[in-house]
């Protein structure tokens, strides 16, 4: 076997990735997460004002998350491609897929609490803080997975 065959196969597979789109989605998740973090750190005035400030930031993060999950899990998405190109990573891909549903459920729960009759800012802040932590870990794990599959560093965005 030619010593250059494996690197060439990795290059060919990696070229199929839309790295610009992957980086853009990662940056959008980071941006919307950072915005929510900023809003959660603001001094809490009245509960109604707090809800008005937090709800749009939480909704923006939920929308970015839904887009991320839908695109990466699509039949032509990066998760399918990773399993096709590096079957040894199927278990890690399965974990990322499961995290998509888990984080989406947490975002939905926080949205329900924000829309509730008597929202509790401390509890909702804790829920959203957990979501932000889980998304950060998920982004890190996803970046590591792409590196393991293709030896491409997609960066911290």
Beta carbons within 8 Å of 64's beta carbon, 6+ residues apart: 25, 28, 29, 32
Domain assignment present for 155: no
pLDDT of residue 15: 57
pLDDT of residue 18: 77
pLDDT-above-90 percentage for the chain: 72
Q: Find the domain containing 143 and state its range.
A: 5-150
Please state the separation of Cα 23 from the chain's center in Å.
11
- Counting the structural domains of the chain, the total is 1
The whole-number average pLDDT for the span 131-141 is 97
Q: Per-residue pLDDT for 151 more than 90?
A: no
Q: Report DSSP state, residue 155.
A: -
How far is it, in rounded angstroms, from Cα 146 to Cα 86? 10
Phi, psi for residue 118 in degrees, rounded to 5: -135, 75
102 touches 134 (CB < 8 A): yes
Domain assignment present for 145: yes
Domain assignment present for 89: yes
pLDDT of residue 44: 77
Domain assignment present for 156: no
Average pLDDT, the chain: 88
Q: Per-residue pLDDT for 2 more than 70?
A: no
Domain assignment present for 157: no
The whole-number average pLDDT for the span 26-46 is 92
In Å, the largest CA–CA distance within the chain is 69
100-114 pLDDT, tens digit per residue, is 999 999 999 999 999
The residue to which tokens 């887009």 are assigned: 67
pTM of the model: 0.86
The whole-number average pLDDT for the span 89-109 is 97
Q: What CATH number does residue 67 fall under?
A: 1.20.120
């Amino acid at each position: 076997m030619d010593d250059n065959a494996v690197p060439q196969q990795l290059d060919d597979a990696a070229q199929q990735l839309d790295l610009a789109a992957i980086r853009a989605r990662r940056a959008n998740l980071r941006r919307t997460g950072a915005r929510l973090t900023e809003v959660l750190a603001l001094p809490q005035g009245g509960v109604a004002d707090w809800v008005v400030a937090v709800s749009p930031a939480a909704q923006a993060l939920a929308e970015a998350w839904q887009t991320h999950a839908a695109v990466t899990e699509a039949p032509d998405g990066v998760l399918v491609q990773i399993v096709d190109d590096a079957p040894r990573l199927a278990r890690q891909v399965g974990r990322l897929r499961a995290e998509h549903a888990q984080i989406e459920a947490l975002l939905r729960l926080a949205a329900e609490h924000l829309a509730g009759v008597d929202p509790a800012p401390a509890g909702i802040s804790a829920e959203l803080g957990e979501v932000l932590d889980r998304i950060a870990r998920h982004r890190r794990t996803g970046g590591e997975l792409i590196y393991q599959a293709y030896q491409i560093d997609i960066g911290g965005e």
